[in-house]
């Protein structure tokens, strides 16, 4: 899509959204009783909150920057830092091998915050430097700051323990530091494993870049942020100028999201950032709900905690677009608060007889259909043919409850005090693809292809793990009950407004199918046959409907 049509599409969709909110606020609020009024206002607030977040997203992708290649600069020194805490040696070794094999001259350092003999031996085996600390104070930020004190390179490249870099990573990034005001160059975090819990859909091995929920951020939002010089430093797959880091006192230690916080301070001091939108680093995405929750909780609480230290609205030195871009990233972690009223709306209407909208508005249905269709076409046009609305809805359902918990904990003053790493130690080898040939030189064994193994995962072996999907279980049961009530009311109460009840029942059914898909992803190893879970879900709803007709 050209820049002109992108801006026209966003402007049209934004105008429709404003019209929709005005119409909803003036004509559809149901104030008949306290219960209906509370439900109606909460739904409208949730929709408004969601559209504010969507508007901020549109602002960020208003005019993405395409960064052209930059010639390599010579005669500069680069230190490569690989951070690790408790990752297994089998996971760390391919990363070390890939980092050491990068073409540009550099020194490679293993920053081991776990003080492990096997990691020290691994560093000695591969001929790279090994650094450790006496304590784990300030977690990853402290680990990086300690390394800065014991190295002297002009530039620092950072990789997480599972991030395997392409041989030409430094050649593709170091040239941008030709400009003396560039503080860091960030590249996308690409997902290599085909069993990530947020990936959609399962794609053949020939697909160079598999769609993941984080793909939108790294491949679309970050280039958009580059337009406003507000590229987010993501803690890995990046190169930073040592001089810029020293000017701000090193990596930020006040929050557990030292990456975003450090980038914010660099921008506030007038430094420039660059985003190279090329698949140069591949890592592992969480494959189970526990790992996803750990990761999302750390990111969400850490980003929100930044507001208490360096609020983008008030910190000196940022331009207005930079302030908006940073607030958009921080507020995106509150999206769960906007989703809860949407999930509960059909349940309130059908199960509790608390319609959150007035049922005497004949234009409500057409307006909602036009509004939803406009947003769908807009998002599809902006994000490209690989974008899936169902994938985004599934991703938001899987992460909404964790994000709500993060918001509530920050709201009551419980800032995160412990840094939990995302568990990736149980991953199998990475799959092969043309875009990941450099992986195969680093991996010690081949990856098995997808199988028909549908054994239950061990996630239900302890009671604590069940908590990870408890909200989805609750939503599943509430949605099925709401669907059953819709069937009962339409068939046994001729006076009801069947169109509104049918629409609410369909929404409840969609929520039930999505909740079932979440449970299926958590409990089944094989995710290639999505139709099975959906067919079971639809069949269950038909059974409920038949029981309602028979015994209702």
Residues marked as catalytic: 113, 259
Report whether 253 contacts 302 (CB < 8 A). no
Strands 272-275, 164-165: pairing is unpaired
Residue given tokens 């697909």 in the structure block = 207
The terminus-to-terminus CA distance of the chain in angstroms comes to 53
Residue given tokens 């300030």 in the structure block = 138
Report whether 298 contacts 420 (CB < 8 A). yes
Cα torsion through 18, 387, 426, 452, rounded to 10 = 130
Closest CA to 474 of 355, 347, 349, 339: 347
> Torsions phi, psi of 164, nearest 5?
-100, 125
Question: Which residues contact residue 203 at a Cβ distance below 8 angstroms, ignoring those fewer than 6 apart?
Answer: 194, 210, 211
Counting every residue written for the chain, the total comes to 552
Residue 61 CA to its chain's centroid (Å):
16
3-state secondary structure of 156: strand
Q: How far is CA 97 from CA 80, 162, 363, in A?
A: 12, 12, 63
Q: Peptide bond preceding 201: is omega within 30 degrees of 0, i.e. cis?
A: yes
In angstroms, the CA 356 to CA 302 distance is 34
Strands 238-241, 155-159: pairing is antiparallel
In angstroms, the CA 353 to CA 504 distance is 12
Residue 232 CA to its chain's centroid (Å):
14
Closest CA to 156 of 172, 173, 140: 173
- Identify the DSSP state of 188: -
- Identify the DSSP state of 165: E
Which tokens hold the place of 476? Answer: 């599943």
Which tokens hold the place of 95? Answer: 């990363």
Closest CA to 36 of 490, 355, 373, 457: 355
In angstroms, the CA 39 to CA 357 distance is 9
In angstroms, the CA 81 to CA 131 distance is 10
In angstroms, the CA 226 to CA 392 distance is 24
In angstroms, the CA 263 to CA 230 distance is 8
Report whether 329 contacts 287 (CB < 8 A). no
Question: Which residues contact residue 44 at a Cβ distance below 8 angstroms, ignoring those fewer than 6 apart?
Answer: 21, 24, 25, 29
Residue 306 CA to its chain's centroid (Å):
18
> Torsions phi, psi of 42, nearest 5?
-60, -40
């Amino acid at each position: 899509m050209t820049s002109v049509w992108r801006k026209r599409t966003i402007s049209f969709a934004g105008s429709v959204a404003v019209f929709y909110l005005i119409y909803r606020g003036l004509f559809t609020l149901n104030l008949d009783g306290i219960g209906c009024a509370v439900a109606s206002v909460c739904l409208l607030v949730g929709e408004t909150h969601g559209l504010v977040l969507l508007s901020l997203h549109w602002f960020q992708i208003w005019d993405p920057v395409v960064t052209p290649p930059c010639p390599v600069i010579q005669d500069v020194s680069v230190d490569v830092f690989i951070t690790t805490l408790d990752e297994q040696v089998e996971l760390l070794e391919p990363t070390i091998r890939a980092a050491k094999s990068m073409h540009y001259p550099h020194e490679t350092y293993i920053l081991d915050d776990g003080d492990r003999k096997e990691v020290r031996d691994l560093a000695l085996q591969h001929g790279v430097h090994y650094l450790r600390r006496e304590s784990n104070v300030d977690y990853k930020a402290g680990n990086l700051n300690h390394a800065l004190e014991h190295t002297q390179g002009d530039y620092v490249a950072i990789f997480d323990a599972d991030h395997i870099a392409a041989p030409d990573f430094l050649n593709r990034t170091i040239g941008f530091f030709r400009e003396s005001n560039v503080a860091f160059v960030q590249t996308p975090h690409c997902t290599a494993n085909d069993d990530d819990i947020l990936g959609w859909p399962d794609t053949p091995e020939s697909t160079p870049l598999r769609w993941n929920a984080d793909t939108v951020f790294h491949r679309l939002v970050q280039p958009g942020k580059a337009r406003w010089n507000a590229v987010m430093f993501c803690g890995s797959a990046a190169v930073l100028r040592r001089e810029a880091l020293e000017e701000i006192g090193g990596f930020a230690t006040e929050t557990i999201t030292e990456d975003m916080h450090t980038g914010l301070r660099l921008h506030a001091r007038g430094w420039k950032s660059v985003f190279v939108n090329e698949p140069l680093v591949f890592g592992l995405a969480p494959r189970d709900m526990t790992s996803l929750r750990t990761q999302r909780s750390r990111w969400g609480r850490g980003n929100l905690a930044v507001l208490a230290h360096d609020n983008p609205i008030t910190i000196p030195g940022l331009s207005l677009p930079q302030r908006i871009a940073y607030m958009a990233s921080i507020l995106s972690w509150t999206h769960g608060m906007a989703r809860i009223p949407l999930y509960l709306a059909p349940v309130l209407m059908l199960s509790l007889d608390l319609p959150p909208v007035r049922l005497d508005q004949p234009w409500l249905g057409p307006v909602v259909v036009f509004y939803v269709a406009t947003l769908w076409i807009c998002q599809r046009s902006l994000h490209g043919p690989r974008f899936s609305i169902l994938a985004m809805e599934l991703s938001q359902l899987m992460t909404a409850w964790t994000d709500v918990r993060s918001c509530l904990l920050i709201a009551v003053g419980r800032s995160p005090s412990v840094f939990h790493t995302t568990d990736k130690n149980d991953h199998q080898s990475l799959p092969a693809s043309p875009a990941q040939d450099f992986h195969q030189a680093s991996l010690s064994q081949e990856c098995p292809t997808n199988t028909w193994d549908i054994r239950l995962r061990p996630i239900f072996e302890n009671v604590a793990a069940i908590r990870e999907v408890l909200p989805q279980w609750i939503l599943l049961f509430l949605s099925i009950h709401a669907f059953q009530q819709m069937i009962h009311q339409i068939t046994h109460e001729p006076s009801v407004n069947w169109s509104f009840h049918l629409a609410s029942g369909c929404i409840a059914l969609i929520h039930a199918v999505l909740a079932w898909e979440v449970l299926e992803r958590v409990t089944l190893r094989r995710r290639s046959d999505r139709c099975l879970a959906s067919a079971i879900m639809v069949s269950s709803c038909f059974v409920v409907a038949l029981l309602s007709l028979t015994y209702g």
